[in-house]
Amino acid sequence: MLAQTGVPTPEDLAEVMPSEDRLARGPVAMAECFQNIPCDPCYHSCKRQAIKPFNDINERPQIDHEKCNGCGLCLTRCPGLAIFVIDQTYSENKALVKIPYEFLPLPVEGDIVDAVNRAGETVGEAKVVKVQSGDKMDGTNVIWLEVPKNLSMEVRHFRQKGVR
Amino acid sequence: MRQTEICIIGGGPAGLTAALKAAALGAEVTLVDRNDYLGGQLIKQTHRFFGSKEQRASERGISIAKELADAVESNKKINVLKKATALGYYKDGVLLVEQDEKIIKIKPKKLIVATGGAEKTLLFPNNDLPGIYGAGAVQTLVNVFGVKPGNKVLMVGAGNIGVIVSYQLLQAGVEVAAIIEAAPQIGSYWVHASKVVRAGVPIYTRHTIKRAWGDTEVEGATIVELDDNWQPIEGSEKDLDVDVICLSVGLSPLTELLWQAGCQMKYVPELGGHVPLRNENLETTVPGIYTAGDAAGIEEASAAMMEGALAGINAAHSLGYDAPDLNKQKEKILMELTGLRSGPVGEKIRRGLAKVTC
C-alpha cells in the first residue's frame, strides 16, 4: 500500500495510466499523484489545457491524454517529482521515459545506467539519450532514458554505475 | 528606549511577510531576529514548495527566502535587527532585546510574535550519544554549511520533514539506511515518500527506535516493530549499522514571549502544543499582540506566509493605516488560506484552529 510503503500499487497506477491506444500514438504524460494535497502548479504549467481545471486546490491532476502531447512542461514544474513522460513509439523495441532528476553528478548522454523501479529495485539497464539541465530548469533536470519497451511502465529512476 | 509602531519578533516566512505588508500600508516596523540572516527555516528548504501558483508553489524555499529578505532589507520603513534575541516582554509594554552583548529596550505600539517552532525529541536509551540530531540540525549542517553529519543515517519519523530531509541527505551524498515511523501510515505527502523510496530508501511504518548503541558516538541503532496498540513486538528487533540517528518527530510552537505577555494559552495537540487563543485578525487575548506562523500552531511555510501577511495588515490597520483595497487584500489571503487547509491533509489543522480561534 502506498500509504505504508511509498510505492503505488498496480491498481493506483491503472487509474492514471494512458490507454494502450494512446501510448501507441506517441509521447504522453502520466501523473503519479495519488493524494489530495494542496498543490496545483501542473495545471498552470500546461499550455494545451490538457490538465483539467482544479475546482479546489486539493484536487488531483487529471490529464486528458488525448490533449496531452507529452511536451513535459508539467514534469518540470511538479514539486512532487511525480510526473513522467512515456514514449512507446521511440523505436521498435525501446521506449523513452523522461524522468525528473535532482541529484549530482548528472549523467552524460550515452551513459548506460541501472534502470530502477518505483520500489528502488534495479530492473534492467537504460541508456541516457538526453540530459535537459540549466538555469531555467531551476535544479530539476530531466533525463531521457531509453529502456526496453516492456519496462516503460516500471522504470522511474536510475542509478549511475559507480556512483552511490 | 526605542519607539516603533510595529515590532515583529522572528524573521522567518511569517515575520518577513508581516513586515512587508505592514510597511506597504505605511507603518514603521522593527524586525528582530536572533540569527545573522533573515529567512528562518526557509533558507534550508531546497525543495520545491507545494501550494497554489499565487503562493509561489513550485518555487524553492531558499529562493523565496532570498526574495523576501531582500525586499525587507531594502525597505526604508523596516528597521532590521539581526543577531538580536528578544529576551522578554514586560507589563509596561517594553520588549528587551539583546544585540552585540547590549540590551536594547523597545516600546512598540503593536507586537507581532512570529517566533516559529522548536523540534521535539524522543526518549530512548543512549539518546544523548553524539551523532543523534534533530532533523533541523541535519538540514542546517547539510544545506547551510555543506557539512555531512555522517555517512549512514537512520531517520526517525516519516512526516514531511523526515522524508524531505532524507531526500536532501541523499542529494548530499549521504546514505539513508531507513526511515521509520511509529504510526501505521506515512505522514508526509506520498509524492515525497515515493521520491525517496525509488532512490533506494525503505520506509517502515509501525516501527520505532528501541535504543542507540555506541561507546563514544553512534555506532548503530535497534529498531522494533509496533503492534496495533503501539507496543513493541518482542522478537521483531532489527539492528541497523548507522552512524547518525536523525529525529524528526514533530515541532512545538515557541511561545515563551506570549506566555510572559499574559496571552491566554491553550494546549492543542493538533497544533503541536500550547498556542495562544486568537481572533480572526490573529490578535491574541492581549490587545495589540498578534501572532502568526508556527508560533501560532505548527503548520508549514505557505500558511505561515499568509498568516504573517494577515497579521501585518491587521496590526497596521489598527494603527490607522489603510488602503482602498485593504478588505479585498485580506479576503483574498483568507480565501487562499482556507483553500490550502480545506483538503484531507488539512483536517488536523482545521480541528486545532477550531479550538483556539475566538
What does the pLDDT look like over B249-271, one tens digit per residue?
A: 999 999 999 999 999 999 999 99
Q: Do B58 and A6 touch (CB under 8 A)?
A: no
Q: Do B50 and A5 touch (CB under 8 A)?
A: no
Q: Do A120 and B199 touch (CB under 8 A)?
A: yes
Q: How far away is chain A from the Cα of B199, in angstroms, using its nearest Cα? A: 5
What is the rounded CA–CA span in Å between residue B209 and residue A33?
30
Residue of B nearest to A31 (CA): B191
> Which of B247, B267, B285 lies at the terminal end of a domain, its last residue?
B247
Residue B114 sits in the same domain as residue B259: yes
What is the DSSP code string of B279-314? -TT-BBSSTTEEE-GGGGS---HHHHHHHHHHHHHH
pLDDT of residue A96: 98
> Which of B219, B247, B275 lies at the terminal end of a domain, its last residue?
B247
Whether residue B27 contacts residue B77, with contact meaning beta carbons closer than 8 Å, is answered with: yes
Q: Do B48 and A79 touch (CB under 8 A)?
A: yes
What is the rounded CA–CA span in Å between residue B248 and residue B122?
9
Q: How far away is chain A from the Cα of B81, in angstroms, using its nearest Cα? A: 31
Q: Do B195 and A81 touch (CB under 8 A)?
A: yes
Residue B89 sits in the same domain as residue B178: no
Q: Do B191 and A40 touch (CB under 8 A)?
A: no
Residue B108 sits in the same domain as residue B127: no
- Rg, C-alpha atoms of chain A: 15
Q: Do A57 and B196 touch (CB under 8 A)?
A: no
pLDDT of residue B59: 93
Overall number of domains in chain B: 2
Residue B42 sits in the same domain as residue B131: no
> Is the alpha carbon torsion for B192, B193, B194, B197 positive or negative?
positive
Whether residue A98 contacts residue A74, with contact meaning beta carbons closer than 8 Å, is answered with: no
Angle of helix B326-341 relative to helix B301-318, nearest 10 degrees, comes to: 150
The arithmetic mean of pLDDT across residues A143-158, rounded, is 98
Residue B159 sits in the same domain as residue B239: yes
Q: Do B342 and A58 touch (CB under 8 A)?
A: yes
Coil, helix or strand at residue B337: helix
**Positions of chain B with pLDDT under 70:** none
What is the rounded CA–CA span in Å between residue B72 and residue B31?
9
pLDDT(A84) > 90:
yes
What does the pLDDT look like over B28-60, one tens digit per residue?
A: 999 999 999 999 999 999 999 998 877 889 999
CA distances from B116 to B112, B113, B297, B308 (A): 12, 9, 9, 11
Cell of B132: 543523534
Residue B240 sits in the same domain as residue B351: no
Residue B29 sits in the same domain as residue B130: no
> Which of B190, B213, B247 lies at the terminal end of a domain, its last residue?
B247
Q: How far away is chain B from the Cα of A120, in angstroms, using its nearest Cα? A: 4
Q: Residue B306: give the domain boundaries.
A: 2-118+251-356
Residue B93 sits in the same domain as residue B139: no
pLDDT of residue B3: 98
What is the rounded CA–CA span in Å between residue B131 and residue B129?
6
- Pick from B175, B198, B202: CB nearest A156: B198
Which among A102, A97, A90 is positioned nearest to A123, based on CA atoms? Answer: A97
Secondary structure letter of residue B172 according to DSSP: T
Q: Do B191 and A33 touch (CB under 8 A)?
A: yes
pLDDT(A163) > 80:
no
The arithmetic mean of pLDDT across residues A132-138, rounded, is 91
Whether residue A65 contacts residue A19, with contact meaning beta carbons closer than 8 Å, is answered with: yes
Tell me if chain A has a CB within 8 Å of the CB of B338: no
- Pick from A77, A80, A140: CB nearest B191: A80
Query: Under 8 Å CB-to-CB from B220, ≥6 apart: which residues?
Result: B212, B213, B214, B239, B240, B241, B242
Domain ranges of chain A: 1-89, 90-164
- Pick from A56, A82, A116: CB nearest B194: A82
Secondary structure letter of residue B120 according to DSSP: -
> Is the alpha carbon torsion for A64, A67, A70, A75 positive or negative?
negative
Secondary structure letter of residue B30 according to DSSP: E
Residues of chain A positioned with their CB less than 8 A from the CB of B184: 4
Q: Do B58 and A32 touch (CB under 8 A)?
A: no
Residues of chain B positioned with their CB less than 8 A from the CB of A157: 198-199
Tell me if chain A has a CB within 8 Å of the CB of B287: no
Is CATH 3.10.129.10 what the domain over A1-89 is classified as, yes or no? no
Residue B74 sits in the same domain as residue B148: no
CB interface of B with A, residues 39-78, below 8 Å: 46-53, 57-58, 60, 63
Residues of chain B positioned with their CB less than 8 A from the CB of A2: 190, 193-194
Q: Do A79 and B343 touch (CB under 8 A)?
A: no
- Pick from B57, B189, B205: CB nearest A35: B189
Residue B259 sits in the same domain as residue B322: yes
Q: Do A120 and B345 touch (CB under 8 A)?
A: no
Which among B193, B227, B345, B160 is positioned nearest to A3, based on CA atoms? Answer: B193
The arithmetic mean of pLDDT across residues A128-136, rounded, is 94
Which among A97, A79, A72 is positioned nearest to A148, based on CA atoms? Answer: A97
Q: Do A38 and B339 touch (CB under 8 A)?
A: yes
Query: Under 8 Å CB-to-CB from A143, ≥6 apart: which residues?
Result: A98, A99, A101, A106, A107, A128, A130, A131, A132, A158
The arithmetic mean of pLDDT across residues A96-103, rounded, is 98
pLDDT of residue B214: 97
Residue B242 sits in the same domain as residue B129: yes
Total residues found in chain A within this entry: 164
What is the DSSP code string of B195-259? HHHHTT--EEESEEEEEEE-SSS--EEEEEEB-TTSPBPTT--EEE--SEEEE---EEE--HHHH
Query: Under 8 Å CB-to-CB from B1, ≥6 apart: which residues?
Result: B94, B105, B106, B107
Residue B112 sits in the same domain as residue B259: yes
pLDDT of residue A164: 62
Coil, helix or strand at residue A164: coil
What CATH number does residue B238 fall under? 3.50.50.60
Q: Which of A1, A5, A56 to mutate to test the interface with B (most CBs of B within 10 A)?
A: A5
Query: Under 8 Å CB-to-CB from B342, ≥6 apart: which residues?
Result: A38, A56, A57, A58, B350
Tell me if chain A has a CB within 8 Å of the CB of B192: yes
Query: Under 8 Å CB-to-CB from B40, ≥6 apart: which residues?
Result: B10, B11, B12, B13, B15, B16, B33, B65, B116
